[in-house]
Structure 1
Amino acid sequence: MAVTIIKKGDHGSAVQDLQRRLNMHGGRLTVDGWFGDATEAAVATIQRRAGLVVDGVAGPKTMEALRGEDSSHRLKEADLQAAADRLGVELACVKAVNEVESRGSGFLDDGRPVILLERHIAYRQAKAADLPVDTMALRYPNLVNPTRGGYAGGAAEWSRFDNLRSVTSQQIAVEACSWGAFQVMGYHWARLGYPSAQAFRDEMSHSEDRQLDAFIRFIEADPAMLKALKAKKWAEFARLYNGPAYKENLYDAKLAAAFAKAERLAA
């Protein structure tokens, strides 16, 4: 199931429903189905009240808060502040990366962490393990392939994970995926101080604050990336964090916009 995210500029019945829910919690919105400044401010108020990350975007976490559900496994504003303090960067910097990378949640509706299997990484890791990668690429091109692609998205990525694990190994399957809210690749597990690939998977499956810890470790392990984040050099940071394909996805522009919004909502 796709994660529903409602944000500024959206319109329609989903926005109307959101506005009605916000009004039940003290909002004074006109239920017009248009997500403008007032709706964004009302969402931020609810997030602030619940201790959630204040980004003005109504994703799964905000809807949980509006429904009165438990959000103890979710990232809190205080968690991002602690991360910013540890890294020595502005809070808005961490919030920008969180907004752009997380797409609303580090978990699927069924409780499993969000993953994305990178078949070209599976090819590389399987080749390093002396597996017959070229034969695999012919038989399972969406799982093992020298080129990126083959994505299914959402919960379907877990089917790809299970299939890759069955033809390679648990470790290679973990290493070939990006994990959680911050999409940290599994093959970094040893570099980031985890005792095994399985231990990394277990941490990413626990809570969003454990996923945040992986992000912090990832930034700390790369002085150039940390320097770019501190200086808010978004193109350089995006290149180091997402790879050269960042330009295709406009990650630098998205990060700059998310940073500006985080500063605005904090004012």
Structure 2
Amino acid sequence: MNTLRHGDRSQAVRALQKNLNNYGATLTVDGDYGDVTEAAVRAYQLKVGLVADGVAGNKTQAALAGYDCQQLLKNTDLVNAAQRLDVPLASVYAVNEVESKGKGFLDNGKPVILFERHIMYRQLSKVRNEGDDTAELKRHADQLASTYPAIVNPKAGGYAGGTAEHQRLTTARLIDDTAALESASWGAFQIMGFHWKRLGYASVQDFVVAMSAGESQQFDAFVRFIETDPALHKTLKGRKWVEFAKLYNGPAYQRNLYDIKLQRAYERHDDCGCGQAVAA
């Protein structure tokens, strides 16, 4: 399904308008995704509990088609996050829109992950217990890198994408379960497993259970990530989008225009009065 948004004109928009009318909207079916259609999309999203961003993406269209949305991110998650972080709701809408990968689960129901073989190498070399021999740990990691270069490697790469990332993770877990789970990024916001302790989880296994439960839990991890990084939290509160994008995305923020996308998303959601709509 193609994402439909304000400004689009197409037969797909006509079909969207018809579907919205089936759920109580009173739209003129003209194929023009203007202000009225966007407002109707937000109203429908609020009605069913989805993030009320006014964009008819896969999740909204799936809900209109009758699919189960229980595992999806809820609008109340964003409202609660805005209160926790003490920022405008529009700011939370913006970071969710720009920093999320769009969905937190694959079609087979498993969480979206990306396994990082260079992090696996690092985690295997990490001193965890008193008495660990640093040289021996590195020797063991080097040996594994020689035997399983796609799974353990000093250099990044080897990505397979999609469900194949879970196959890579399964192989890594046979080597070392904790190191493997710590070496993948998880969910819609791609939070690395090795952050589990900082984010307040009892173990990386506990973190993974949460990431596998639903997008709400994945978003909670993202909020914890911001909460536990004072500099990142400060830039969000000050709406300093360049600094926020630089801290969260690293050097890639300029090439991918993350700061500009965040600014534009904030302005769009601030202008729409989504906070007032949610409060009502």
State whether TM-score is above 0.5.
yes
Question: Structure 2: how far apart are the matches of 1:21 and 1:135?
Answer: 58
**Deviation, structure 1 residue 141:** 4.2
How well do the aligned residues superpose, as a CA RMSD in angstroms?
A: 2.6
TM-score w.r.t. structure 1 length?
0.85
The 8 Å contact of residues 54 and 265 in structure 1, kept in 2 or not, is answered as no
Residue 67 (structure 1) aligns with: 65
Question: Structure 2: how far apart are the matches of 1:6 and 1:145?
Answer: 41
Q: Percent identity?
A: 52
The secondary structure found in structure 1 opposite 2:185 is: strand
Question: Structure 2: how far apart are the matches of 1:65 and 1:4?
Answer: 14
Residue 30 (structure 1) aligns with: 29
| 2:241 maps to 1:234 | yes
TM-score w.r.t. structure 2 length?
0.81
Q: Cα deviation per residue 1:213-255 (whole Å; 9 max; x = unaligned)?
A: 2122211111111001101111211222223333333222222
2:161 to 153, 158, 177: 153
The 8 Å contact of residues 235 and 241 in structure 2, kept in 1 or not, is answered as yes
Question: Structure 1: how far apart are the matches of 2:235 and 2:227?
Answer: 12
| 2:228 maps to 1:221 | yes
**Deviation, structure 1 residue 4:** 5.6
**Count of residue correspondences:** 263
Question: Structure 2: how far apart are the matches of 1:189 and 1:231?
Answer: 27
The 8 Å contact of residues 27 and 37 in structure 2, kept in 1 or not, is answered as no
Question: Structure 2: how far apart are the matches of 1:123 and 1:7?
Answer: 43
Q: Cα deviation per residue 1:90-112 (whole Å; 9 max; x = unaligned)?
A: 11111111112223322222222
The one-letter code of the counterpart of 1:159 is Q
Residue 45 (structure 1) aligns with: 43
Flag structure 1 segments of 5+ consecutive residues without an equivalent. none
Q: Cα deviation per residue 1:32-58 (whole Å; 9 max; x = unaligned)?
A: 3x6554443332221122222111222
- Cα distance, 1:51–1:239 mapped onto 2, change above 3 Å: same
Residue 124 (structure 1) aligns with: 122
The one-letter code of the counterpart of 1:70 is D
The 8 Å contact of residues 87 and 220 in structure 1, kept in 2 or not, is answered as yes
Question: Structure 1: how far apart are the matches of 2:15 and 2:163?
Answer: 26
The 8 Å contact of residues 183 and 194 in structure 2, kept in 1 or not, is answered as yes
Q: Cα deviation per residue 1:162-188 (whole Å; 9 max; x = unaligned)?
A: 23323x322122111121222211100
Structure 1, 200-209 or 36-45: larger mean CA deviation: 36-45
* Greater Rg over alpha carbons, structure: 2
Aligned 1:242-257 pairs, distance under 5 A: 242-257=249-264
